[in-house]
Structure 1
């Protein structure tokens, strides 16, 4: 997923930091302000939701957009995503929907992690 989306996001003008797992991401984002996080919900949804909660806690009221990416967006997954503080769930292979979601979030949101 990272290999597929990284070029698309870079081509759209975003600065990205593709990170392989949530423990590494927790360390990498500890001191770095981020604006948008894209989380793979298929790999380990519980870890993704825990990481989303960590990001929300660290944001302390700052603008942060958390999007979950999945191959199968079930109603249960949407419910869990909302409870975990994700802003939206998007199909992994729908690049247009992802870019549209990132663009509608505001012109000043130009960084994705």
Structure 2
């Protein structure tokens, strides 16, 4: 699925192999997760302009996936990786991602419970 979609806010897929063990190779991002970044900022607050930039990066990544009929199903700070300069957020971890299916959208309960929408 990762190989089908390219976007500046999605972790770039480089390749994969199945033998002798399953390996997925992606671009190296040295900025760490958004969760770690936010925890390291405490007790300071994230600058509003930076927060808006991150929110737009996340929205663009999700829009790209949805326009290709892909549902990520595990959006959380641990799956958002920062570039080394801490200016761009990229969405990672497509382990729960699926092709869009009306039945699945209505019935499947997936994701990380703490980050799931209440409905």
What TM-score, normalized by structure 2, do the two folds share? Answer: 0.26
Higher helix proportion:
1
For the pair shown, which has the larger CA radius of gyration, 1 or 2?
2
**TM-score of the pair, normalised by structure 1:** 0.27
Query: Which gives a bigger RCO, structure 1 or 2 (Cα 8 Å, sep 6+)?
Result: 1
